[in-house]
Amino acid sequence: MRVEYNLAFKGFNATQARYRLAMGGAGSGKSVDVAMNYILKLSDPKYTGANLLVVRQTETSHKDSTFAELVKAINTMGLSAYWTYTTTPLAMTCSITGNNIIFRGFNDERARERVKSVSSSSGKICWIWVEEATELREADVDILDDRLRGKLPDGLYYQITLTFNPVSASHWIKRKYWDYDSADIYKCHTAYLDNRFIDESYSRRMEMRREQDPEGYKVYGLGEWGETGGLILANYQIEDLTLEFERYEKIVYGHDFGFNHADACLEIGFKDDEMYILRELYAHEKDMSEIILILDTMQVDKHKTMWCDSAEPDRIQMLRKAGYNAKPVKKEAGSVKAQIDYLKQHKIHINGGCLNTIKEIQQWKWKKDNTSGLYLDEPIDFQDDAMAALRYAIEEYRRNTKLKTFDRNMLGL
Ligand SMILES: Nc1ncnc2c1ncn2[C@@H]1O[C@H](COP(=O)(O)OP(=O)(O)O)[C@@H](O)[C@H]1O
Ligand SMILES: [Mg+2]
């Protein structure tokens, strides 16, 4: 068995400190490293009786992230003969050690109770991996911390692993762990440049970002604590949502075309003046026929309107030929600003599984004037493809509710 690590994680992989932090830019290798590291440990007879609890803000986001990463780690390390897993509920077991991996979220009170009462059929929960830890509240990480207590058999140890991007210098994780010196805290800092497995096109995208969005590059490129200012949308909530269309008043799709940029298509429900982003398609370097195949597999509803980027009528035509109810969105001067105004006034619920939409919304910012340091009235046009799809999806609503929006503005709401 040959395991290829990134050197930057050497000390991180070995430490038995109670708190182990991997902070870094996007694509710096954090998730892959932690997944491989835990699979190795959990498969090792030396650690029989140790179980891993994997935590994210929402339970639905595990399937395509942590769970997929752990399965990939098992396969690349040639251990698939020794691991079994189920997807409903998500769970994994190693046949060598009997060790289990359990997945949980912190979405609501019920989920919180499920974390408090979680236990393994064999052994103890010794290790907890909190992925995208900045999405959790401080009190929720304290709940996890409280779980790791009681005497352990010799050779086992308790540890919480936090993996995250340094999204904001005022984040509680910075105060509580990163800036705090203690033998119990091990800190590992990485950037995409530390990841020798990163592909060429990713490095090029990061270079582009350095020029177009220096603040974003600092956080997501270099992995340094960033600034909080200038975020466009804050009125969103990440949740586990139902995909039953009957529960919503209307369903529409928003589709922003792309090849080098992502092609992003969002499925959105509307109810009581609020939006529910249910599913996403998000793909790089796929041509339109490949995109259509993905939409087919997702079983996107061909009767619902799909609002598309009007700049590419050929692609709209292809979608229509394939049976989709694709229509162009009229673009006018000032429409981006007006769409953003509309989005700001309506609560946005995002399904935990829409990982790319969540990433984009968390970093969608206004441009900054370099001389005055003030934010401009124009978004940074970088990694905003799901946001474009979202803007298109609301167009019909926005145009029909202009009056209502106007009234609210007049009232100063
Ligand atoms: N040890 C590794 N072996 C092989 N590929 C790796 C390894 N570490 C990272 N990669 C590659 O780099 C990409 C980004 O790594 P990832 O762990 O997802 O970054 P992060 O979690 O820091 O955003 C992965 O999708 C994978 O292709
Ligand atoms: Mg990651």
Average pLDDT, the chain: 92
pLDDT computed for residue 408 by the predictor? 45
User: For ligand 1, is residue 4 a contact (CB within 6 Å)?
Assistant: yes
- For CATH 3.40.50.300, list the domain ranges present in the chain: 7-209
pLDDT computed for residue 409 by the predictor? 45
Q: What is the CA radius of gyration of the chain?
A: 22
- Of all residues in the chain, the percent with pLDDT exceeding 90 is 78
pLDDT computed for residue 27 by the predictor? 95
Give the confidence band of 411 by pLDDT, cuts at 50, 70, 90: very low
Q: How far away, in angstroms, is 208 Cα from ligand 1 center?
A: 20
Q: How far away, in angstroms, is 13 Cα from ligand 1 center?
A: 15
Longest dimension (CA), the chain: 69
Give the confidence band of 156 by pLDDT, cuts at 50, 70, 90: very high
Atom of ligand 1 nearest to the CA of 4: 1
| Highest mean pLDDT of the ranges 65-69, 165-169, 328-332 | 65-69
Distance CA 211, CA 241 (A): 37
User: For ligand 1, is residue 288 a contact (CB within 6 Å)?
Assistant: no
Strand-strand pairing, 50-56 and 124-131:
parallel
- Are the C-beta atoms of residues 195 and 203 closer than 8 Å to each other? no
pLDDT computed for residue 369 by the predictor? 83
Q: Which residue did the predictor score with more confidence, 334 or 156?
A: 156
Q: Which of 66-80, 94-108, 185-199, 365-379 has the lowest mean pLDDT?
A: 365-379
Give the confidence band of 401 by pLDDT, cuts at 50, 70, 90: low
- Give the CATH class of 236-411: alpha beta
Amino acid present at 237: Q
From 321, 277, 283, select the one nearest 302 (Cα to Cα): 321
User: For ligand 1, is residue 31 a contact (CB within 6 Å)?
Assistant: yes
Distance CA 177, CA 195 (A): 24
Tell me the H-state helices in 7-131.
10-14, 30-42, 68-76, 109-116
- For CATH 3.30.420.280, list the domain ranges present in the chain: 236-411
Tokens read off for 337: 């600003």
Q: Which CATH superfamily is domain 7-209 in?
A: P-loop containing nucleotide triphosphate hydrolases (3.40.50.300)
Q: How far away, in angstroms, is 57 Cα from ligand 1 center?
A: 21
Tokens read off for 228: 């909080």
* Length, in residues, of the chain: 413
pLDDT computed for residue 364 by the predictor? 93
Q: Which of 318-322, 396-400, 403-407 has the lowest mean pLDDT?
A: 403-407
- Of all residues in the chain, the percent with pLDDT exceeding 70 is 96
Counting beta carbons within 10 angstroms of the beta carbon of residue 333, is it exposed (0 to 12), middle (13 to 18) or buried (19 or more)?
Answer: exposed
Q: What is the pLDDT of residues 291-332, one digit of tens each?
A: 999 999 999 999 999 999 999 999 999 999 999 999 999 888
From 333, 320, 336, select the one nearest 378 (Cα to Cα): 336
Q: How far away, in angstroms, is 346 Cα from ligand 1 center?
A: 36
Q: Which residue did the predictor score with more confidence, 398 or 370?
A: 398
pLDDT computed for residue 228 by the predictor? 65
Q: How far away, in angstroms, is 265 Cα from ligand 2 center?
A: 22
Nearest ligand for residue 6 CA: 1
> How much is the average pLDDT of 149-172?
94
Peptide bond into 89 cis (omega under 30): yes
> How much is the average pLDDT of 83-99?
95
User: For ligand 1, is residue 197 a contact (CB within 6 Å)?
Assistant: yes
- Are the C-beta atoms of residues 50 and 126 closer than 8 Å to each other? yes
- Are the C-beta atoms of residues 331 and 399 closer than 8 Å to each other? no
Q: Which residue did the predictor score with more confidence, 371 or 45?
A: 45
User: For ligand 1, is residue 226 a contact (CB within 6 Å)?
Assistant: no
Question: Ligand 1 atom 15: the closest Cα is on which residue?
Answer: 29
3-class secondary structure, 309: coil
Q: Name the DSSP letter for residue 82.
A: G
pLDDT of residue 116 exceeding 50: yes
pLDDT computed for residue 29 by the predictor? 97
From 167, 184, 199, select the one nearest 29 (Cα to Cα): 199
Q: Which residue did the predictor score with more confidence, 359 or 409?
A: 359
From 343, 339, 109, 360, select the one nearest 239 (Cα to Cα): 109
pLDDT of residue 405 exceeding 50: no
Q: What is the pTM of this model?
A: 0.85
3-class secondary structure, 326: strand
Q: Name the DSSP letter for residue 365.
A: B
